[in-house]
Amino acid sequence: MLLPWEYGVRNLARRPMRTALTLVALATVVMLVLVVVGFIRGLERMLTISGEERVVLVFSINAQDSIENSAVAARTPALLSASLDSLWRRFGVTHISPELYLGSRVQTDGGPAGLGLVRGVTRTAPLVRQGVRLVQGDWPRDGEVMVGRLTAAKLGTGDEALAVGRTLEFEGETWTISGQFAAEGAAYESEIWCNLDDFQTACKRQDLSLVAMRLAPGANAAGVSLFCKERLDLELRALRETDYYAALQQHYRPVCFLAWLVVLLVSAAGIFAGLNMMYGAVAGRVREIATLQAMGFRRRAILLSLIQEGLLLAAAASLVSGSIALALLNGLAVRFTMGACTLQIDSVAILVGCGIGGLLGVLGALPPALKALRASVAASLKAV
């Protein structure tokens, strides 16, 4: 015969302070798990949606997979445009974007300085990066920049420091913010975009970092790769943008592995904390457990009742943490080496968090309950 369901619920209400402390401890563990898993999901989502299948990147063969270290000749866009028929052309405009992409120390207006990502572009950049859209202000003119919606997180400053009309300092120049753009969660959202000629002058460079091209519908990148292999003097390589970000996913795989390791360590710490609190809770109920056995309840029934209490606490903690994470943390911007991304408290994160919460409830209650049930009934009834 099992103990009534209401018995475990009443036991939780009978010790409100201990129940509240256990609930807070479990909720804290689940919250930490949700934050870490949300970061992993956000990073994976950003790298997945950043690339486009029809966009090809041409950069220096010596740069390997780091575009910041690439340097290609300024005449490369003209050579590519004249030599390739696979590029998309509409109304006489070739969809090709010469770009200079560098990391630079950026000083905000009256705020702290931080390492920012600056991309010098021309008016053809939106033709290639079609996910980019201006959400506030205007396209930058001479001496102006526009910032992504996650640039403030990357620089470690507030959004008000990057409002339209404020100024930034980098590469020895002062730039006025003319607008803000979004890119559907892609990596560009943590960058600063400015006029290519202005950026080259400020950096005292005449070369480029890369050339981005949009292929015509039905075209493939084989022609671009063949051109790069034939022109050995230019030392170029071509890579689809989707392949480039897939390589970055491989590069950040150790980071994701460490993040999952943090989830494991936090869960283990939560289990030990739960064990400690449940041992204390069961130690004060030795006579109660012995009395239940003397009344005829089997040890299995008492064990299930104790596990029920742990699961109820874990479920409540998971519900509280999940609600707070969805309301306050979902979409929160966090920075890392490459730029910034948003925490994604999606169904996977909620499932992992609630699953670990339930595991904490079971594993936290099981060992102390088994220890209490192993003691003899007569000795337990005499316990103080």
Greatest mean pLDDT among 2-11, 70-79, 241-250, 283-292 lies in: 70-79
With 0-12 / 13-18 / 19 or more C-beta atoms within 10 angstroms meaning exposed / middle / buried, residue 222 is exposed
Span 30-38, average pLDDT: 90
DSSP 188-214: GGGEEEEEHHHHHHHHT--SBSEEEEE
Lowest mean pLDDT among 4-18, 29-43, 45-59, 353-367: 4-18
User: 3-class DSSP state for residue 328?
Assistant: helix
Q: What span, in angstroms and rounded, lies between the C-alpha atoms of 142 and 122?
A: 11
CB 24, CB 316: distance < 8 Å: no
Helices 286-294 and 299-324: crossing angle in degrees, nearest 10, is 130
Residue 238: per-residue pLDDT:
92
Burial state string for 190-216 with b = 16 or more CB within 10 A and e = fewer than 16:
bbbbbbbebbbebbeeebbbbbbbbbe
Compute the radius of gyration of the chain from its Cα atoms.
Answer: 29
CB 85, CB 223: distance < 8 Å: yes
User: 3-class DSSP state for residue 118?
Assistant: strand
Residue 286: per-residue pLDDT:
67
238-273 tens-digit pLDDT: 999 999 888 888 888 888 888 888 888 887 877 777
DSSP 52-109: -TTEEEEEEGGGTT-GGG--B-TTHHHHHHHH-S-B-EETTEE-EEEEEEEEEEEEET
Residue 326: per-residue pLDDT:
93
Q: What span, in angstroms and rounded, lies between the C-alpha atoms of 146 and 138?
A: 8
Q: Which two tokens stand for residue 56?
A: 């090809």
Q: Minimal CA–CA distance to 109: which of 158, 23, 169? A: 169
Tell me the C-alpha to C-alpha distance, in Å, between residue 382 and each of 283, 302, 368, 375. 13, 19, 19, 12
Residue 151: per-residue pLDDT:
93
Residue 310 has pLDDT above 90, yes or no: no
Q: What's the start-to-end Cα distance of the chain, in Å?
A: 28
Span 303-314, average pLDDT: 81
Beta strands per DSSP E along the chain: 55-60, 89-90, 93-94, 96-108, 113-121, 133-137, 144-148, 167-170, 173-182, 191-195, 210-214, 236-240, 333-335, 340-342
57-79 tens-digit pLDDT: 999 998 877 788 899 999 999 99
Helices (H), 129-252: 151-155, 196-203, 222-230, 241-251
**Position 284 confidence tier, pLDDT thresholds 50, 70, 90:** low
Residue 383 has pLDDT above 60, yes or no: no
Q: What span, in angstroms and rounded, lies between the C-alpha atoms of 108 and 114?
A: 8
